[in-house]
Structure 1
Amino acid sequence: MTDKAVSEGQNVRINGTAKTDKSALTRGSSTRTLPEICFELQAKIDAFLCEETEDDVLRSVQRQVKVSMGVIQEALRRYGLDHLSLSYNGGKDCLVLLVLILACLPRCASHSPPPPSDAAAAHPPAAAAPEPPLSSSTSAASDRPLQAIYIVSPHPFPEVGDFVARSAERYRLDLKRYALPMRPALEAYLEDRPAIKAIFLGTRRTDPHGEFLTYFDPTDKGWPQFMRVHPVIDWHYVEIWAFIRHLQIPFCDLYNRGFTSLGGVTDTRPNPALAVGGDTSKFRPAYELRDDEEERLGRD
């Protein structure tokens, strides 16, 4: 069960708000190979890490990127690409994680070890900085797409489904789509993809049940068994948006309309903390919110 995807282009910013350039949705992206995409993202992140900035948030993002890429590289070392997947729903956090994973692939394409024992895999790695940049002449990114699972909300926003489809094509994801509750969706996915041993998640510390998570956590008893990998667990809300906007990563348009956390149409609304002058019909974009604790005020 996979989404039929269409291409996605860059967003054009008008007065600080990202507007979709419809003509860019198919322009060029269908002709780029996955290695080209990975090298482009690697170069973009390498350049960002080398930037000198007086902005405290961007400096913090640079530190977070180094830590997260260290976790991703450790997961790739332990499991290899064939045994890894990404939980992807088009939201801001897993979008950041997707970009970071793809940027790591050129350096890690040659690492495909057999999966370790659960006991060995349960220990989180030391937070490591990425290795020095490698050119395309000395490192070849794999043309194997990143495996991913999309668990569809019972009452999905059409905008979210459209963005997932477009971004899956843009980043060449091998995406499996399940319109099931989370546990049976994961059971079905592991039945379809029995080689999967670990799944990257965009969970952050302030998310429900995120408080005590580490970089690597086995699933709880009674759930389908795999290793949960949380590279962005310690990112703050403003850091997520600083990364997306500074690197000009296209994102779901619902965020421009005041949504700060994407669920379904029956349990999600624009964040009241972003209402313009108390008018509940007008909202500022999601990236103008500053407080982690207010992120989920639009979720029931």
Structure 2
Amino acid sequence: MTASPACQHQQDARINGIAKSESDSDSGVLTRGSLRRTLPDICFELQAKIDAFLSEQTDDAVLRNVQSQVRVSMDVIQQALRRYGPDHLSLSYNGGKDCLVLLILILGCLPGWASLPSPPPSDIAANDTSAPTTSEPPQASTPVASGRPLQAIYIVSKDPFAEVEEFVERSAQQYHLDLKRYALPMRPALEAYLEDRPAVKAVFLGTRRTDPHGEFLTHFDPTDEGWPQFMRVHPVIDWHYVEIWAFIRHLEIPFCELYNRGFTSLGGVTDTRPNPALAVSGDTSKFRPAYELRDDDEERLGRDSR
């Protein structure tokens, strides 16, 4: 039986990982009703969704790989929470797919943070001078207990897309991010952020191995000499492109609508185009969605090299 156009539209929205209401006309736009939900509600729901995903039995090799990646990433996040506590942690967030996955994983870890054991001395790197020497009681610091939002920094691309700006704003509201926005180059933006948030000692980054300068990174890396000093935390460093999208779509996480138009790596209007590898039958005016790309090496074909 052939699905009706209305049913087909609903199925496509579901396939795209978008939670749409009847009033949302654009795929990828967060539902307005979701903005009223509390941070604890969101964290516990995401924890349950992730736990359910990890317990699934599947014959899909990609999903099995994603399950393994999630376990590793959540362990890294938990290490960072034990080492620093949420009051000293922040997230670099620009609405892109990688930091979106990271945000979901962090929020899913927060309900259990108060019960995490303190790290042994060997768990803190000898050169990690940014780690706090004392910590507050977990019950006082955990955002799930206090309702305080997760700290985050948004470094705005030069000539940002309106769709990215909107998605960052809407998702920051939905996920209760304490988001500071800086329309500056990266180094001065980080300097300004640490002046505004001097308690921050470590920043979660959605960097992956195939990103520029990502080849030799580990899960925990201090910033380079001459840069603002904090610990960079890379929970999704070893994820592959297809795994990022498998997680987003399987857990039905809303994402920026530009990804449905063939964009695979989001920068600014002047240096980013739909990925030519996704052109439909060579027609550069029509593009398949980002999640149909399979090769890590083709991810940045729509970005100007620097």
- What TM-score, normalized to structure 2? 0.84
Structure 1 distance, partners of 2:52, 2:145, is 18
1:97-155 Cα shifts (integer Å, max 9, x gaps): 000000000000466989x9873538xxxxxxxxxxxxxxxxx6442211000000111
Q: What residue number does 1:41 align with? A: 46
Q: CA offset at residue 77 of structure 1?
A: 0.1
**Aligned Cα root-mean-square deviation (Å):** 2.3
Moved more, 235-244 or 13-22: 13-22
> Is the contact between residue 78 and residue 121 of structure 1 (CA under 8 Å) also seen in structure 2?
no
Q: CA offset at residue 74 of structure 1?
A: 0.2
Q: What residue number does 1:274 align with? A: 278
Q: What residue number does 1:158 align with? A: 162
Inter-CA distance 278–187: structure 2 relative to 1 (3 Å threshold): same
Structure 1 distance, partners of 2:146, 2:116, is 10
State whether structure 2 residue 104 is matched by structure 1 residue 99: yes
Structure 2 distance, partners of 1:32, 1:209, is 38
Of 57, 65, 76, which residue of structure 1 is paired with 2:62? 57
Q: What residue number does 2:126 align with? A: 119
Of 268, 274, 280, which residue of structure 2 is paired with 1:264? 268
State whether structure 2 residue 154 is matched by structure 1 residue 147: no
Give the counterpart letter for 1:74 in structure 2: Q
Of 50, 66, 72, which residue of structure 2 is paired with 1:67? 72
Structure 2 distance, partners of 1:166, 1:12, is 22
> Is the contact between residue 206 and residue 293 of structure 1 (CA under 8 Å) also seen in structure 2?
yes
> Is the contact between residue 79 and residue 112 of structure 1 (CA under 8 Å) also seen in structure 2?
no
Q: CA offset at residue 14 of structure 1?
A: 2.3
Structure 1, gaps ≥5 residues long: 1-10, 123-139
Give the counterpart letter for 2:63 in structure 1: L
Q: What residue number does 1:14 align with? A: 12
Inter-CA distance 280–26: structure 2 relative to 1 (3 Å threshold): closer
Structure 2, gaps ≥5 residues long: 1-8, 25-29, 130-143
Alignment size in residue pairs: 273
State whether structure 2 residue 206 is matched by structure 1 residue 208: no
Give the counterpart letter for 1:45 in structure 2: I
SS at match of 1:14: helix
Select the structure of larger CA radius of gyration: 2
Inter-CA distance 216–17: structure 2 relative to 1 (3 Å threshold): closer
Of 292, 300, 305, which residue of structure 2 is paired with 1:288? 292
SS at match of 2:212: coil
Of 217, 221, 229, which residue of structure 2 is paired with 1:217? 221
Give the counterpart letter for 1:28 in structure 2: G
> Is the contact between residue 80 and residue 111 of structure 1 (CA under 8 Å) also seen in structure 2?
no
Moved more, 212-221 or 103-112: 103-112
Q: CA offset at residue 52 of structure 1?
A: 0.2
State whether structure 2 residue 113 is matched by structure 1 residue 108: yes
- What TM-score, normalized to structure 1? 0.86
Structure 1 distance, partners of 2:35, 2:281, is 43
Inter-CA distance 231–142: structure 2 relative to 1 (3 Å threshold): farther
Give the counterpart letter for 2:128 in structure 1: A
State whether structure 2 residue 186 is matched by structure 1 residue 188: no
Give the counterpart letter for 2:241 in structure 1: Y
Q: CA offset at residue 196 of structure 1?
A: 0.2
Structure 1 distance, partners of 2:51, 2:229, is 35
Give the counterpart letter for 1:284 in structure 2: R
State whether structure 2 residue 217 is matched by structure 1 residue 239: no
Identity %: 79
Q: What residue number does 1:135 align with? A: none
Of 252, 256, 278, which residue of structure 1 is paired with 2:256? 252
Inter-CA distance 286–173: structure 2 relative to 1 (3 Å threshold): same
